[in-house]
Amino acid sequence: MELPEPTTVAFKVDVDTFVGTRDGIPKLLNTLQRFGIRATFYFSLGPDNSGKAIRRIVKKGFLSKMLRTRAPSMYGVRTMLYGTLLPAPQIGARLPDVIRSVRQAGHEVGIHCWDHVKWHDYLGRFTKQAVAGELNRSAGMFEKIFGFPAKTTAAPGWTVTADSLEIQDSMRLAYSSDSRGTAPFFPVMDGRRFTTLQIPSTWPTMDELLGENGITLDTINDQYLAFLKPGLNVHTIHAELEGNALNSTFVDLLTRLTSRNVRFITLAEAADEFAANAPACSLKMGTIEGRAMPVALQG
Ligand SMILES: [Zn+2]
């Protein structure tokens, strides 16, 4: 008789900004420690050019999303000006101790990016050399901070190209987490099969769900519990949100998940468990509800 598959949750923590690194990380470490949960953190290691994301206002859909999620009140006014009226602070160079504290607290660590805004807005127009430059700078800063090379990456905004997957293949990673989908897989993009395992995020983020179909902070965790399925669930959270204005809602989610006998693992542990049976699946950029820019979708 086959035993029922345990319900497993892995938290992927994206850290996008200087303030999210400085203030959001300590708060999230505290929250996760209270529940005895280990997560996988992905760091932005170069300049915080968040102010330039204002350029996206002119692109379809972004303004309404920004107003809906009240980005200025969630991210803070300074962050909205970094890289424009205020100089872009160098995150890895200025906050190495905060970044190191994540590993010291027992969590897994990986590369999110060098320049989040640049990758997210322009990856499709980068030369292969420019993609390699972003990943090399990130890898150099990661190794300088931790003293060992990164074993995992997660692309900003789930934005990939065949070039970025090819360069990640050359980095000897254990896996990457760049996509949205249902279960771990080996990506096939533009007719090429890549060798780095993809562990997709399986749940929508809080900022995608809020405001859709009348979902509010009071009902959003009912929605997350409804997403919970046997096998691996991967939830992406942000140091800027769950480590700041949305922290109490996240604490409520953890309280409800722990009361349901959910097993928590890191993405590295998920890679170990699920790689052997991972199929090859297509990976394409496409749109999803609640997000203005396209994301990499498992086919
Ligand atoms: Zn991000």
The tokens describing 117, both together, are 């805004």
* Crossing angle between the packed helical segments 25-35 and 96-104, to the nearest 10 degrees: 10
Q: Residue 63 has what pLDDT?
A: 53
Ligand 1 centre distance from Cα of residue 112 (Å)? 7
Position of tokens 């519990």? 225
Ligand 1 centre distance from Cα of residue 144 (Å)? 21
Q: Which CATH entry fits the domain spanning 7-298: 3.20.20.370, 3.30.70.2190, 3.40.630.30, 3.40.50.1370? A: 3.20.20.370
- At 162, give phi and psi (nearest 5°): -60, -35
Ligand 1 centre distance from Cα of residue 40 (Å)? 13
Ligand 1 centre distance from Cα of residue 115 (Å)? 10
Average pLDDT across the chain, whole number: 92
CA distance 236 to 11: 6
Ligand 1 centre distance from Cα of residue 236 (Å)? 9
Ligand 1 centre distance from Cα of residue 268 (Å)? 19
Strands 295-298 and 108-113, how do they pair? Answer: unpaired
Q: Residue 15 has what pLDDT?
A: 97
Ligand 1 centre distance from Cα of residue 16 (Å)? 5
Ligand 1 centre distance from Cα of residue 3 (Å)? 37
Ligand 1 centre distance from Cα of residue 1 (Å)? 43
Mean pLDDT of 9-28: 97
Ligand 1 centre distance from Cα of residue 5 (Å)? 31
pLDDT band of residue 74 (cuts 50, 70, 90) is: low
Ligand 1 centre distance from Cα of residue 157 (Å)? 5
Reported as a single tens digit per residue, the pLDDT across 251-297 is: 999 999 999 989 999 999 999 998 888 999 999 999 999 888 899 99
Ligand 1 centre distance from Cα of residue 178 (Å)? 10
Q: Residue 2 has what pLDDT?
A: 53
First-to-last alpha carbon distance for the chain, in angstroms, is 31
- How many other CB atoms sit within 10 Å of the CB of residue 11? 25
Reported as a single tens digit per residue, the pLDDT across 203-247 is: 999 989 987 788 999 999 999 999 999 999 999 999 999 999 899
Between 157 and 55, where is the model more confident? Answer: 157
Reported as a single tens digit per residue, the pLDDT across 92-150 is: 999 999 999 999 999 999 999 999 999 999 999 999 999 999 999 999 999 999 999 99
pLDDT band of residue 51 (cuts 50, 70, 90) is: confident
Reported as a single tens digit per residue, the pLDDT across 19-32 is: 999 999 999 999 99
Q: Which is nearest to 96 in space by CA: 48, 47, 146, 152?
A: 146
Ligand 1 centre distance from Cα of residue 41 (Å)? 11
CA distance 207 to 67: 11
CA distance 85 to 106: 38
CA distance 183 to 179: 10
Q: Residue 214 has what pLDDT?
A: 86
Ligand 1 centre distance from Cα of residue 13 (Å)? 9
Ligand 1 centre distance from Cα of residue 4 (Å)? 34
Contact 290, 212 (CB under 8 A): yes
Ligand 1 centre distance from Cα of residue 42 (Å)? 8
Q: Residue 85 has what pLDDT?
A: 76
- How many other CB atoms sit within 10 Å of the CB of residue 277? 9
Contact 32, 106 (CB under 8 A): no
CA distance 78 to 61: 23
Ligand 1 centre distance from Cα of residue 29 (Å)? 18
Ligand 1 centre distance from Cα of residue 116 (Å)? 7
